[in-house]
Chain A
Amino acid sequence: MLVWAAEETHNPLIPPVGEIIIGAIAFAVLAFVMIKLVAPQFEKAFVARRNAIEGGIERAEAMQAEAKAALEQYRAQLAEARTEAAQIRDAARAEGQQILEEMRGQAQAESARIIARGEEQLMAQRQQVISQLRAEIGTLAVELAGRVVGESLTDEARRSGTVDRFLAELDGMTAGTAAGDGRGGSTAYAPQGDR
C-alpha cells in the first residue's frame, strides 16, 4: 500500500536526472561497443566479401578473355591454313597444266619424229623399188622391143646405152611430178635427187 501512496508524487513524463544519466551511461557503453568494435568488423567483412565476389568475377572475365583469344588464334590459324591450301591447290593445278603442256609437246614431237621416220623409210623403200623397177623395166622394154622389132636388138641397145638414157629421162620426169605433188607436209623429205 506504501507503493500506492508514493505513486501520487510520480509524473511519468518528468523523469529524475539520475535515471537519465544511468541511461546515458548504458547507451554510451553499447554505442562504444558498436562503433569501435562491431561496426568496423562487419564493414571489414562486407568489404572482404565484396572483394571475393569481385575477384571471382574478375577471374571469370580473365578466363573468358583467354578463351576468346584462343578462339581468335584458332580462327586465324584456320584462315591461314585455308589460304595455304588454296595456294597449294593453285600451284598444283598450274603444275599439272604445265606438265600436261609438256607432255603434249613431247607427244607431238614424238609423233612428228615417228611420222618423219616413216616417211624416210617410205622414201627409201620407194627409191629401192624405183631402182629395182628401172633395172627390170629396162630389160623388159628391150626384150619387148626386141620381140617386136627383131632378135638381135638387145646387144645393140646395151652397147649404145639408149635404154639408160631413156630411163634417166623418165626418172627426171617422175622427180618433177614428185616435187609437184609434195603438199602433204612431206616437202622436207623430198627425194634426194640423182645419184
Chain B
Amino acid sequence: MTSSALALGDVLAANGEGFQAPGLGEFYPEAIAHFSVLGINFEITRITIILWIATLAMAAFLYFAARNASIVPGKLQFLGEAGYGLIRNGIARDVIGPRGLPFAPFLASLFFFILANNLMAIIPFAQISPMSKFAFPLFLALVCYVIYIWVGIREQGVKRYFKDILFLPGVPTYMYVLVTPIEILQNFVVRPFTLAVRLFANMFAGHMLLVVFSLGAVYLLQTGNYSAVFGPISALMAIVMTFFELLVIFLQAYVFTVLMGTYLNGSIEAEH
C-alpha cells in the first residue's frame, strides 16, 4: 500500500465528518521492522525501502552506463555521460574553476543521489521522496558543510581561511561590527541549514500538494452532491502538479549541487 492509499483509508474512514486533510502522518508510515544497534533505534519503513530502491537503481544505472564506456557511447552511456557531464562541466569546471574537476565525482554523487530519491516522488507505488524526510537532506548538507570547510582549510590554511571569513577583506574597519556576525552566521549556520531545508521543504510541500489534490479528487467524487463536479478539476490539478513536481525534482537536485559548487569555489579561491 502506498502512503497515499493509507491516507485515502483515513479519508474514507472519516466519512460524513468532512474532508480530513492529510497531515504529517504521510511522512511517518508504520515501521515494517525495528531494531536497535548500540542504543540507536532503526526503523525500516516503506520510505527506507524506497530510499534503498532509488539508491540501488541509480547505482546500477550508473554502473551499467559506465561499465564499457567507449569513445562512441551507446544509449545508456550517453544518458549517464550527459548527467555526469552536466555536473562535471557545468558545475565542477565552470562554477568551481579549473581546480574543480577533482570534485566532479563527489558533486555527481550528490546530484544523482538526490535525483534518484526525488524521482521517487512521482514514481507510481512509491510516490514519496525520501528527501521529504529531513534526515536525508540534513545528512547531505552536513557532508557538504564538512567538506567545504575542510577544503577551505586545506587550500588556504586555517588562519587565512577563518580570518577571511571573520574579517572580510576590503571592508572598512567599522563595518566589521555588522559584517563579521553576518559572515559567521552565513558560513557556519545558514549555508548548511538552507541547503538542507530547501531540498526538504520542496519535496515535502510537493508531496503534500500531490496528496491533497489526489485525495481531494477522490473525496469530491464520493460526496454524492454537486461538489462531485469539482472532482475532475482536482484530479487534473494533481496531474498538472505531477509535471510541476518533475521540474522541481530536477531543479532541486541541480540547485543543491550548484550551491555546493559555489561554496567549494569560495573555499578554493581566496577571493573577496
Contact = CB atoms under 8 A, between A and B. Distances in A.
A35 B105 contact: yes
A17 interface: yes
A27 B40 contact: no
A12 B109 contact: no
Interface string A27-51: 1011101110111011011001100
A194 interface: no
Nearest to B64: A38
Given A7-B24, A12-B134, A12-B204, A34 B105 contact: yes
A31 B28 contact: no
Contacts of A49: 71
Majority DSSP secondary structure for residues of A touching B: helix
A27 B25 contact: no
B1 to A, nearest CB: 13
Contacts of A31: 105-106, 109, 113
- Max chain B C-beta neighbours (<10 A), residue from A26, A27, A31, A34: A34
Contact of B28 (A3, A22, A23, A42): A3
Interface residues of A, number: 37
A38 B24 contact: no
Contacts of B41: 16-18
Contact of B51 (A18, A22, A41, A45): A22
A82 to B, nearest CB: 50
Interface in B226-267: none
A151 interface: no
Chain B interface size, under 10 / 10 to 19 / 20 to 34 / 35 or more = 35 or more
Contacts of A42: 66, 69, 80-81, 84-85, 88
B55 interface: yes
Contact of B109 (A18, A21, A35, A41): A35
Interface string B55-68: 11011001101110
A18 B66 contact: no
B42 A22 contact: yes
Contacts of B134: 12-15
Contacts, number: 136
A79 to B, nearest CB: 46
- Max chain B C-beta neighbours (<10 A), residue from A12, A38, A39, A44: A38
A21 to B, nearest CB: 7
Contacts of B65: 38
A9 to B, nearest CB: 9
A183 interface: no
Contact of A3 (B25, B40, B51): B25
A66 to B, nearest CB: 26
Nearest to A35: B105
B138 A15 contact: yes
A136 to B, nearest CB: 127
Interface string B64-86: 01110111010001001100110
A12 B197 CA distance: 11
Interface in B1-43: 6, 10, 13, 23-25, 27-28, 30, 40-43
Interface of A: 1, 3-4, 6-7, 10, 12-24, 26-27, 29-31, 33-35, 37-39, 41-42, 44-45, 48-49, 52
**A-B pairs with lowest CB-CB distance, top 6:** A15-B135, A19-B135, A39-B105, A45-B69, A41-B66, A31-B109
Given A24-B139, A33-B59, A34-B105, 7 more contacts: A3-B6, A6-B25, A13-B134, A16-B41, A27-B140, A38-B65, A38-B108
11 contacts: A1-B13, A12-B134, A18-B42, A21-B40, A29-B55, A29-B56, A30-B113, A38-B66, A41-B67, A45-B73, A45-B77
